[in-house]
Amino acid sequence: MRLNNKVALITGAASGIGAQIAQTFAREGAKIALADIDTAGTAVAQQIGPQAKFYPLDVSSESDWQFALAGIQDHYGRLDSLVNSAGIAIFKDIESTSFAEWRHVLNINLDGVFLGCKTALPLMKASGGGSIINISSISGIVGGHNLAAYNASKGGVRLLTKSIALHCARQAYNIRCNSVHPTFVDTPMVRQLIDASPDPNKLETAFKRQIPLGRLGTPEDIAELALYLASDESSFVTGAEFVIDGGVTAQ
């Protein structure tokens, strides 16, 4: 029970990586606040059981964040871990990306992380500290010709994470902040992209060929790393970036 009696807020928890992190944290004894704009998160909370509660949340809305944190404080009385997992991607280069698309991606992927961290900090401080885990991407470290907005948003998450980590350390808040950088993970978002292609098998094979370990990541892979970062085992880890990409960036 590595997270026994801890309270964790997880965004993007209706499916994919967020849902798996919620289930993994619950397995280790945490009380879970699942948040998502998709109300399918209610079903995930019901699957987990009475230790989980769903909160509707548009991560790009400051008022939604404030409402969710007020609800968590009333229901749980504390917050020990925040996992910013909500995110979207569009595959477009700089010339084909409209300003509206650019703003939409950054609103969710970067503004959402900023708002989450800023809004959660007071309750985490009052709880005696905790761990913030920001799900970025290897696209926050290396560029892609057709990922203009996504690269910018995930690169922003990477350095925002370090700034938050240093601020919290300087203020002696006992709050750690780290980023996680996966490659392609077999989630509904990636599966939808594959299935929508003219030749899904060819595209999936192409994805796997880019990964030295020869497979897509799984939500479980990411959840186990997040579990380490949320637990007391990582008490001396902050401001770090954890690459979990099957060897892609080692090449």
Residues that are catalytic: 150
For residues 48 and 26, is the Cβ–Cβ distance under 8 A? yes
Helices (H), 132-244: 148-170, 188-195, 200-209, 219-230
Residue at token pair 């990636």: 190
User: How many residues would you count in the chain?
Assistant: 251
Provide the 3-class DSSP secondary structure of residue 170.
helix
Q: Is 185 helix (H, G, I), strand (E, B) or coil?
A: strand
Residue with tokens 């009380």: 31
* β-pair type (7-11, 31-36): parallel
Cβ–Cβ under 8 Å, residues 150 and 139: yes
CA distance 221 to 246: 10
**What is the Cα–Cα distance from 115 to 55, expressed in whole angstroms?**
16
The one-letter code for the residue type at 106 is: L
Segment holding 176, helix H or strand E:
strand 175-182
